[in-house]
Amino acid sequence: MAGFEGAAAAWAERMTRCLDSFGRPKRLFVFVNPFGGKKCAKKIYDAEIKPLFEAAGVSITVQETEYQGHAREVASSLDLAKYDGIVCVSGDGVLVEVVNGILQRTDWKEAIKMPIGVVPAGTGNGMAKSLLHAANETCSVSNAVFAIIRGHKQSLDVCTILQGEKKFFSVLLMTWGLVADIDIESERYRWMGSARIDFYAVVRIMNLRKYCGSIQFVPAPGYEEYGEPIKQVENCMVESLEQNGKSHPSSYPGPSVEFQASEWRFVDGPFIAVWINNVPWAAEDIMAAPEAKFSDGYMDAVILRDCPKADLLALLMKMSDGSYIKSPFVTYLKVRAFKLSPGQLVENPKRGGIIDVDGEVIARGEGTYGKSQHQDVMAYGPHIQLTVHRALATVYCPKRIR
């Protein structure tokens, strides 16, 4: 047809202007983790992600991560003025590194406003699954990329994990006990692929561990009935680096919050598992916290103190849809602040446990897997505190999620 090419060009230009009006990104810095999951992230990027960004007219700068912590180092010094957003082609590990790197910066107040996109190409993919599931979309590479191209954004809570002068920032979860043991100790069976988790879960249930310890928390409204009130006044306030006399004004110090002693409650062990969540999905097939919201200012705590082995196995099989929280053996509540004082195994007082944050071990007790090979961020035993900063970070999402 005469004039068809001109009409098509005009239509394409009008569509581009319309998309640009949505505030979609035009310049992206992309991290690709070639070591995550099945080590296919580079192939996924070349075959599925790059063509979509190029078709959308997005300028891309790519950085392959070379070692653990590399993305954190790059994010801490990246010239963010050159980009509209950062994209993580990986599991959840690179996302966590990017957030930690940004909050180390002297300009963190502006830097944390940078939108971050997540494309599932790793083992867990909990954040990508949470964002796409909230929009009733399948967790896939193409859907995640389209969400970034559209440019819709979602606020995200960030948890500060503090022990003395040491701090770590989390956007997904912290776990201690059964779930952490399965996640970390099953790494010795990586040759089994994703089946290693199911296999080792059965092993751990058959040889169930219980840990001594205690937890303290400030419950969200409506959850005040769980636990016992703390009567003593000392050590009940939320700590911060400033309160410890170790102020670091150049980087993000953590949320500035105070709670009265009367607001805190406690529960003593032994525990089978303690699980603190920031988003609904811990992995693509594990809905750990079905009632979690992205920016409600609360953490969702899952506490398991006792459970027969047969019931525990059935409970784990219900994690794919979150229905496991209906079990009478599971306590599920929202909290505003949380303290974990981890102890030793009931069965073996010389052995401690593992504390796993967003897939990274931050503390290991004596006798645990990898203890002799790794230097962890924090010590096992002294209490570890979690506080949440509501809507601190921003992520790309398929549509605006309420």
Which positions are annotated as active-site residues? 92
Going by C-alpha positions, the residue among 158, 173, 107, 121 that lies closest to residue 359 is: 173
Can you spell out the DSSP letters for 41-54? HHHHIIIIIHHHHH
**Interatomic CA distance for residues 167 and 385, integer angstroms:** 9
- Cβ atoms within 10 A of the Cβ of 208, count? 13
Name residue, tokens 């070349």: 46
Going by C-alpha positions, the residue among 377, 359, 351 that lies closest to residue 163 is: 377
**Interatomic CA distance for residues 165 and 242, integer angstroms:** 10
| Buried b / exposed e along 360-375 (16+ C-beta atoms within 10 A) | bbbbbbeebbebeeee
DSSP H helical ranges for 81-220: 93-103, 108-111, 126-134, 141-150, 178-185, 195-206
Alpha-carbon distances of 217 from 160, 261, 264, 303, 344, rounded to whole Å: 15, 11, 5, 12, 21
* Strand-pair partners of 170: 159
3-state secondary structure of 37: coil
38 contact partners, CB below 8 Å, separation of at least 6: 193
**Interatomic CA distance for residues 14 and 135, integer angstroms:** 27
Cβ-contact 37, 91 below 8 angstroms = yes
What is the bridge-based pairing of β-strands 27-32 and 85-90?
parallel
Can you spell out the DSSP letters for 183-201? HHHGGGGGGGTTHHHHHHH
